[in-house]
Amino acid sequence: MQGMEQVPMEAVDLLAMSSVFRESLNERRQRLEGAIAHSGGDLEFTNLLDQVDAALAKLDNGTYGKCEECGDYLETDSLLADPLVRVCIDELSALKSVRWKAISNLPQRFSVHFFPE
């Protein structure tokens, strides 16, 4: 059929499970609101609530489950384990690699700064 775009299986899975993700995120949102009220506005809880709200907004606009780095669909298992996941495994590995290189370079930069030749 001409003009029909093939939908990736990951997108079909996410669409079929969107109510499960929405329910999980809404439950998490309620627990966080209670924790924020009980803790007097703890910043960690507030940041998590912002992440939950961002995930719910993505569900509303149809971008939930897409990697923020490469745009590919995230694995459903990853989202089930943590509905706040924003990057795919491949991109996470790449990000960790970049960060590790930056961290592993710190001793050299530190010694050059504090112990110039």
Q: Is residue 65 situated within a structural domain?
A: yes
Residue 36 in domain: yes
* pLDDT above 60 (res 29): yes
Give the N- to C-terminal CA distance of the chain in Å, as an integer: 70
Check which CATH number belongs to the domain holding 37 and give it: 1.20.120.910
Q: What is the pLDDT of residues 45-74, one digit of tens each?
A: 999 999 999 999 999 998 999 999 899 988
Q: Does the pLDDT at position 43 exceed 50? A: yes
Confidence of residue 80 (pLDDT cuts 50, 70, 90): confident
The proportion of the chain whose per-residue pLDDT surpasses 70, expressed as a percent, equals: 69
Q: Is there a domain that residue 98 lies in?
A: no
Across the range 78-106, mean pLDDT stands at 74
43 within a domain of the structure (yes/no): yes
Number of domains the chain contains: 1
Assigned domain for 111 exists: no
Q: Which domain holds residue 46?
A: 9-87
Contact of 35 with 59, CB cutoff 8 Å:
no
Domain assignment present for residue 1? The answer is no
